Copies of this chain bind each other. A is one copy, B any other.
Amino acid sequence: MIENDMKKKMQKSMDKVHKAIKIGNGHTILSTGITGDDARMAKAVVDAGVTMLEPNHPALALARGYKGVTSMHNAEQIRHEITTAQMAEATQGVRNVVGNDIYITVGIPGGFTETVPRIITDEEFLLMSLHGADGLHTHKSSLKDLEMLVKKAHQYGLCVDAYIGLPTDLHTFGISAETPEEVAHVASQMESIGTDMIGMMTGMSYEGVEAGQIPASLHERLRAMVEAVHVPTLGEGGINLTNYQAFLDTGVNILVVGTAIDKMVEKAAQDAVKEFLLM
């Protein structure tokens, strides 16, 4: 008896995404890292024009110093131990301060292919849906797993963004597709099962690539994805101020930016305390 209620919720959510892309003349950023899960920082970037935010469980592991992890690489190993209740609390807090016009997609344990398999229960989907999430930021590694996730997420009014990766990626953050043809094929399949936004993991090595550029192969893969689907597209990983324009040139709509902002924020804090301490 709430099927259409949930559908309407998702439509409202996707309206926010389309509006964000339109305002940015075809592109925008999805701000994550410390700006995704700390309400103070989320408010700050929203005040500066950001309209899409992404709290996620590995970043929360870092925020909470969970098991002492201090690098994203180590956080990925234990992120599945963060609870959905913690993600719901963080998401609700961000929602409280940024208002309803901001799109919030959330990484939760089980939404990624975790180092230890983790089921998302119906109660957890509902919990996120009721605590400020527009959607789930996911990193499943097979089309079948993604399809089951999308079905459940939609049942509870949550949109889904999902990703394509390379078989050689250090961490498994998506469904494998290597050549542009494979990418186009997988992206189409992802769209056909109802994925609301389709992205590509772009955090590969930039070795041998000129500053400000991205590898030609990545450009081609991104182009193939963008051309293959009708839903908004994303790029995630290794995106910074230097190579941002090269990413935009592929036509991708939404660039996920976390580490680049976190680094600048951490440097600002370090510069500040050094000035105090050196007086």
Contacts and interface: CB of A to CB of B under 8 A. Distances in A.
Interface of A: 24, 28-29, 31, 34-35, 38-45, 47-50, 62-70, 89-90, 92-97, 241, 244-245, 248, 255, 257, 260-262, 264-277, 279
Nearest to A45: B273
A198 to B, nearest CB: 21
Contact of A96 (B44, B68, B271, B272): B68
A266 B40 contact: yes
A40 B276 contact: no
Contacts of A266: 40-41, 44
A28 B271 CA distance: 15
30 contacts: A34-B38, A38-B38, A39-B62, A39-B63, A39-B64, A40-B62, A40-B63, A40-B262, A41-B269, A42-B65, A43-B70, A44-B267, A44-B270, A45-B269, A48-B269, A48-B271, A64-B93, A65-B93, A65-B95, A65-B97, A70-B97, A241-B272, A244-B279, A260-B272, A261-B269, A261-B272, A264-B269, A265-B265, A265-B268, A265-B272
A119 to B, nearest CB: 25
How many copies make up the complex? 2
Secondary structure dominating the interface of A: helix
Given A48-B270, A270-B44, A270-B48, A24 B62 contact: no
A250 B62 CA distance: 38
Nearest to A23: B277
Closest 5 CB pairs of A and B: A65-B93, A39-B65, A268-B268, A68-B96, A48-B270
A50 B277 contact: yes
A266 B90 CA distance: 18
A264 B268 contact: yes
Contacts of A267: 44, 268
B45 A64 contact: no
Given A41-B34, A266-B44, A279-B248, A274 B49 contact: yes
Contacts of A63: 38-40, 93
